[in-house]
Amino acid sequence: MITLRYAAGSDVGRVRQGNEDAAYAGARLLAVADGMGGHVGGEVASAAAITAVAALDREQPDDLVATAEAGVRQANQRLRELVEEDPSLTGMGTTLTLMLWDGPRVALAHIGDSRAYLLRDGDLYQITYDHTLVQTLMDDGRITAEEAARHPHRSILLQVLDGGDNPDPDLSLRDAEVGDRYLLCSDGLSGVVEAERLRQVLAEVDDLDEVTRRLIELACEAGGPDNITCVVADVVEGPGSDTPVTVGAAVPS
Ligand code: MG
C-alpha cells in the first residue's frame, strides 16, 4: 500500500508581527495558504481556506481532480461568506496550493505564488507555476530569473483566492512514485532560499520534521522577511503518518 509520511512547519519569520500563512498535512491532503489583506484579513483568509479544504482529507473521491477543484471553490465560497458577514475583511485573499492523494495518483490544485516541488532521483522540480507579474515578464523574456528575484513588484499576484466570481486554479493529475518527496511552501521560503539549497536539504536530510526545521532556519538566516511555511511528504510503501497536522494561522487559538 502506498501512503504518505509528512511533516509541516510554520514560522512568523524575522520581520512580520503576525503569521498570515496556514498549512495542513494529512494522510490524503497536503495544503499551503498564504493570506493577505489589511488588519486581520490575511490570517482569516488563509485559515478559512485551509479549514475548508481540510475536509477533503476525509473523502475517498472517484474523481481526484474534480474533488480538488471543488475544494478550492468551497474555500473561495467560504471567503465570500466571511466578507459578507464582516465587510471590514473586504480585500482579503489567499494563495492556495493543495495536493489530494489516492495511492499513487495525486491531484494538484494551485492558485497564487505558493509553490509545490518534487524531489525525484535527487533532482528538484517546481511543479507549480507562479501567478505573478514577474513570472509573466519572465515568460515574455523581458526579465531574467535573477532580475525577477529582486524585482520591486515581485510580490504582485495576478491570481488569488478572494471570494470572487470565478476562481481559476491550475489543475493537474500526476503519478507519484515510492521514493518521491514533495515540498509545498509559501513564498517566505522560496522567495529567499535558492532552489539548489532547497534541493540539498530535501536530498540530504532524512527526517521530515528536521527538514521543515532546516528549511525555516535557512529562510530566517536569509533575513526572514516574510512568514515561512512548509509541508514535506514522502511517498512510502507501508504505514504512513496518521495524525493530521495544522500549522500557522489555521491553528485554533
Ligand atoms: Mg508570503
Of residues 189 and 38, more confidence is placed in 189
Q: Which CATH number goes with the domain that contains 233?
A: 3.60.40.10
Q: Does the model's pTM come out above 0.85?
A: yes
Alpha-carbon distance 16 to 119, whole Å?
30
Q: Is residue 252 part of a domain?
A: no
Give the mean model confidence (pLDDT) for residues 126-137: 96
Other CB atoms within a 10 A radius of the CB of residue 221 amount to 11
Tell me the per-residue pLDDT of 45-60, one tens digit each, with 9 for 90 and over: 999 999 999 999 998 8
Task: Report how far ligand 1's centroid is from the alpha carbon of 21 (Å).
Answer: 7
All cell numbers assigned to 16: 512580520
Report the domain count for the chain. Answer: 1
Task: Report how far ligand 1's centroid is from the alpha carbon of 103 (Å).
Answer: 31
pLDDT over 90 at 182, yes or no: yes
Give the mean model confidence (pLDDT) for residues 130-142: 95
Task: Report how far ligand 1's centroid is from the alpha carbon of 61 (Å).
Answer: 31
Alpha-carbon distance 227 to 11, whole Å?
6
Tell me the per-residue pLDDT of 199-253, one tens digit each, with 9 for 90 and over: 999 999 999 999 999 999 999 999 999 999 999 999 999 999 999 999 999 887 6
Q: Is residue 248 part of a domain?
A: no
Tell me the per-residue pLDDT of 53-87, one tens digit each, with 9 for 90 and over: 999 999 888 899 999 999 999 999 999 999 999 99
| Domain carrying residue 141 | 2-241
Predicted pLDDT at 59: 83
Which residues sit opposite 115 in a β-bridge? Answer: 185
Q: Is residue 24 part of a domain?
A: yes
Predicted pLDDT at 251: 85
Q: Is residue 152 part of a domain?
A: yes
Task: Report how far ligand 1's centroid is from the alpha carbon of 63 (Å).
Answer: 31
Predicted pLDDT at 250: 82
Do residues 126 and 195 make contact, with C-beta atoms less than 8 angstroms apart?
yes
Of 162, 166, 163, 145, which is closest to residue 154 (Cα–Cα)? 145
Give the mean model confidence (pLDDT) for residues 188-208: 97
Task: Report how far ligand 1's centroid is from the alpha carbon of 242 (Å).
Answer: 28
Q: Is residue 118 part of a domain?
A: yes
Do residues 225 and 15 make contact, with C-beta atoms less than 8 angstroms apart?
yes
- Strands 123-126 and 96-102: what pairing? unpaired
Alpha-carbon distance 228 to 212, whole Å?
10
Alpha-carbon distance 170 to 129, whole Å?
8
Task: Report how far ligand 1's centroid is from the alpha carbon of 186 (Å).
Answer: 6
Q: Is residue 45 part of a domain?
A: yes
